[in-house]
């Protein structure tokens, strides 16, 4: 699991990160719309930096910022940024979201997050993995509140969360005038339940476009829609 993860245009080292490269982050980084040609992008809770790297590849954004609270993950993210083709556009801050909001005047055209969301009561003995995985490190209400301060008037906020949290998350977002414009519900295969929701919010209240995505037909046999989404990144797609 600690081996570098090679994508088509960049490589991600992950040996110092508690949370390794997973489907969720890559999916979100591939799915979020960049059609509005964002000038500035922020990845909250960057981990290895995978989503910020994907967005640097997909867009011409001049400023692709990331924040990461865990020191080891932060250092790894910085290295991954510097070793990518877009090092001049990528920057990672070592800070909590609260500190970042207090200090940064900047507004972002696109904010994206693959937040920790294992809110079960148990913890493991690995503190940095717990920090990356458990939602008390970045509660949804704190994430939403912070985004409402950091997002530009025309901006987009995109997130991936458990499907079962979708309704609650949308309600919390509406309290700071963020409304879902696109919703994509993801299932592993045709017979499994929907596990994830990818959501795109803005300050504009319009009817949501609902999408569905199935990842596989059989184990390691990927659907055409999934391949189309991620083929710019994965080597074997």
Q: What is the pLDDT of residues 162-199, one digit of tens each?
A: 999 999 999 999 999 999 999 999 999 999 999 999 99
Nearest-10 crossing angle of helices 166-174, 140-150: 40
Q: What is the pLDDT of residue 74?
A: 95
Q: What is the pLDDT of residue 117?
A: 64
**pTM, to two decimals:** 0.91
Q: What is the pLDDT of residue 119?
A: 44
Taking alpha carbons only, the member of 93, 90, 22, 6 closest to residue 53 is 90
Q: What is the pLDDT of residue 116?
A: 77
Q: What is the pLDDT of residue 122?
A: 43
Q: What is the pLDDT of residue 69?
A: 92
The residue ranges of the chain whose pLDDT is under 70 are 1, 117-137
**pLDDT > 90: percent of the chain:** 81
Taking alpha carbons only, the member of 25, 38, 28, 19 closest to residue 150 is 38
Q: Could you tell me if 158 and 198 are in contact, meaning their C-beta atoms sit under 8 angstroms apart?
A: yes
């Amino acid at each position: 699991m600690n081996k570098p993860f090679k994508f088509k245009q960049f490589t991600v080292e992950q040996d110092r990160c508690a949370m390794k490269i997973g489907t969720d982050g890559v999916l979100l980084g591939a799915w979020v719309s960049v059609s509005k040609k964002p000038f500035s992008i922020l990845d909250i809770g960057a981990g290895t930096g995978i989503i910020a790297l994907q967005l640097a590849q997909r867009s011409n954004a001049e400023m692709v910022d990331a924040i990461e609270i865990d020191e080891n993950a932060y250092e790894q993210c910085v290295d991954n940024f510097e070793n990518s083709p877009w090092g001049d556009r990528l920057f990672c801050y070592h800070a909590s979201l609260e500190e970042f909001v207090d200090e940064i005047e900047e507004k972002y055209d696109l904010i994206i997050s693959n937040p920790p969301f294992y809110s079960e009561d148990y913890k493991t003995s690995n503190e940095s993995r717990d920090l990356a995985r458990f939602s008390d490190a970045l509660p949804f209400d704190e994430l939403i509140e912070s985004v409402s301060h950091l997002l530009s008037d025309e901006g987009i906020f995109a997130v991936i969360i458990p499907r079962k949290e979708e309704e609650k998350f949308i309600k919390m977002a509406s309290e700071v005038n963020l409304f879902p414009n696109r919703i994509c519900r993801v299932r592993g295969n045709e017979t499994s339940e929907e596990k994830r929701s990818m959501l795109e919010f803005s300050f504009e209240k319009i009817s949501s476009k609902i999408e569905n995505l199935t990842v596989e037909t059989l184990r390691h046999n990927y659907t055409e829609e999934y391949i189309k989404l991620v083929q710019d990144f994965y080597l074997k797609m």
